[in-house]
Structure 1
Amino acid sequence: MEILSIRPVAGPKDVALYDVEITPHLRLFNVLLRKSPDGRLRSFAPKAFGKHSASFHPELAEQMTQAAIAALGSKAAYDTREI
């Protein structure tokens, strides 16, 4: 799994949008990294026509979230918001 691109976003709960390559044959674009009320970060599938375009098994969602957090950490020097 590889984070291809990550972009911090402004919003009280939304942290970043990212593009991820799950395998060489599967890429997802504009996955949302969001902070939940309990402070945990979670990945959400992009939406099409107001509905999620995919769903993730909890293990895959956690792997994607951890990869996005690591990728975002490399940009942290340029972002003053608290994650």
Structure 2
Amino acid sequence: MTAMASVISKITAKNQVTVPKQVRQALGLKEHDQLRWIAKDDGSIEVKKANNNDFWGVVMEQQRRYGSINTPEPAWGPDVGGEVID
């Protein structure tokens, strides 16, 4: 992506930001796409289009948000019998 003119956005009272048209076009964004915000050590922020097809990225995000799925399986008791399928 080539450098573009500086564009300013305003944060609303609900902490929402409109992504400027030039940025949406440069990133190929469309409605319902997600952005990944990366805070760097030098104080700058990198914004990328999130790769929603990244299965393990989604898994890690869900684990970060909701906790680990590594829980013991519940004990349902001894087996009663076999399954009968008609």
Structure possessing the higher radius of gyration over alpha carbons: 2
Q: TM-score when scaled to structure 2?
A: 0.27
Q: TM-score, structure 1 length as denominator?
A: 0.27
Q: Greater strand percent: which structure?
A: 1
